[in-house]
Amino acid sequence: MGCCSSNMEFVPLPEPPRPVIRSTIKALTRKNSLYAVRLTSITEKYQIIRALGSDSIGTLFHAREMLSGVIRTVREINKFTSTKGVEVFQEYNILRELDHPNIIKIFEAFETPKNFYIVFENVTGGTLLEKSKKLGFEGEFSKYAHELFSALNYMHKQGVIHCNLCPEYIVLSTDDDNAVLKIIGFTLAQKISDKKPIEINKIRIEFASPEVFNNEFTTKSDIWSAGVVLYNILTTRYPFPKGSIEMTIDSISKCQVDYNNSGFASISLQAKNLIKSILVLDPNQRPSCEQLLENPWFYESKQTIPITYNLAKKISMFNIKTTIARCLLSYITSKLSTSKKDFTIINYFKSLDLNNDGKVSKDEILNVFSQVGLNVENEIDFIMENLDYDSSGFIDYTELILALTNWPQELKQKNMVKVFTSNEGLISIDYLKEIVSHIKESEWAKFRQETRAENELITIKNLKEYLKESINI
């Protein structure tokens, strides 16, 4: 966050709409545009492992990044046959602004003469609907439902509406007990400040809210969809009668929810009341995500890994001495990020995020730290300054990752060569400037001195030592 490449060019989206990508390392926030590294072939950066499937937008692949060996999911979009340019740039631009552990992460984009490629984090746990068939009781499922509403709460506070929330877009990071929920499928997502009509034929009708059929939608429309998902998974049924599309739309528009089947009768009273509070015709009468997260049904879901005194002390003391070091360390965490590795940090983040808004405030730090016997009232401004790199007034998930990463472990030689492109152990400073932007030349001059650069090249060993010495743990 805040470490964008400086050599970017803006290219407007042409008509007919196709995604436009131009060369750079990291994205800027510009409307109707995409940015990417220009390659001759995707195989310069990634080894394609297998195809996952195709849709109207393009083809999804599992791919291994050549340098780091980390598995990612890559979407390939043909420049000349795809007509889904608007959806592509919309998903890309929205996801690069979201930073939450329960929302799919986007890493980078590439352009070749024939295709565009967008790189996402790899999720392997299948859909929540598939997982629910293996869960033993409601309490296990409520954990994932809590993560779903936490992610929606964050999205809505960032001014984003998903617009097409349904079971296939609610997936799990891994197939083990440490899996965390991820919302995907943002091709129809919209900014509240820039809403456009929804094309009904592009959404899952069964999960759409009544107002959507009148070309009206708000954050409460997402909440309705989440309520239908809960009903569907808990009861193994749909809340509206099966039949033609017209019949389904009519039932939804009249809010004719089936509460009299055996599936609904079998769930707990708390779950019934939760669903009934959501599936209300008037959007204004539906609870917000913040209100829903206080529902007693989520009690077991709020159990997280507690913040200890030593961990609180580590966070309070953490400091990165230079902007260059901070941006390079952020780059390392993004390149080596995997779902399994992030699991513990995600739970620590949830322990600090007391109001489930997807970010950590000054008051939340004071509250949680005081509970473990650490009074940081005099140091809180120092802590926030050290961790809140984008000066938003809050600590975001990615910002907390920097403080909680085990840097002595991450900054080993074997990891450095997985992250940074080198030639015979030497790294070009021009290459590092592509990764780190908006840095004064005076800072680069000091960097050259501290890393003992020669002929604009530094050794991996010297870069590693520089980064270690830049961190105050």
CATH assignment of the domain containing 279: 1.10.510.10
Say if residue 466 is in the same domain as residue 329. yes
233 & 216 share domain: yes
Tell me whether residue 431 is exposed, middle or buried, using C-beta atoms within 10 angstroms of its C-beta: 0 to 12, 13 to 18, 19 or more.
Answer: middle
pLDDT at position 9? 34
Domain-located, residue 9: no
pLDDT of 303: 61
pLDDT digits (tens, 9 = 90+) for 329-367: 999 999 988 766 677 888 899 999 999 999 999 999 999
What are the backbone dihedrals phi and psi of residue 239, each rounded to the nearest 5 degrees, phi first? -75, -10
pLDDT of residue 56: 75
Please report, for the domain that includes residue 467, its CATH number: 1.10.238.10
Start-to-end CA distance of the chain, whole Å, equals 21
pLDDT (0 to 100) of residue 57: 82
Q: In this predicted structure, what is the pLDDT of residue 436?
A: 87
Residue with tokens 């795809």: 82
**What residue type is 289 in one-letter code?**
C
Do the domain assignments include residue 4? no
In a domain, 213, yes or no: yes
In this predicted structure, what is the pLDDT of residue 7? Answer: 37
Q: Is the backbone of residue 457 left (phi > 0), alpha (psi -120 to 50) or beta?
A: beta
| Residue spans of the chain under pLDDT 50 | 1, 4-33
pLDDT tens by residue, 227-247: 999 999 999 999 998 889 999
Look up the domain containing 258 and give its range.
Answer: 128-302
- Same domain assignment for residues 40 and 110: yes
Give, in order, the Cα–Cα distances in Å from 25 to each of 3, 350, 402.
10, 31, 21
Q: Partners of 47 in the beta sheet?
A: 64
Q: Which of 302, 337, 353 is the last residue of a domain?
A: 302
Clarify whether residues 264 and 139 are in a common domain. Answer: yes
- Give the model's pLDDT for residue 28: 30
Residue 164 sits in the same domain as residue 243: yes
User: Based on the structure, what is the number of domains in the chain?
Assistant: 3
Are 155 and 286 within one domain? yes
pLDDT at 90: 85
What confidence score (pLDDT) does residue 34 get?
53
Q: Are residues 146 and 192 in the same domain?
A: yes
Nearest-angstrom CA–CA distance, 391 and 415: 30
Q: What is the pLDDT of residue 84?
A: 66
52 and 93 both lie in a single domain: yes
Q: What is the pTM of this model?
A: 0.87
Please tell me what DSSP assigns to residue 285. G
Q: Which of 206, 166, 214 is nearest to 188 (CA)?
A: 166
Cα 455 versus chain centre, distance: 39
Give the pLDDT score at 29: 30
Q: Are residues 183 and 100 in the same domain?
A: no
Q: Of the candidates 97, 121, 145, which is a domain's last residue? A: 121
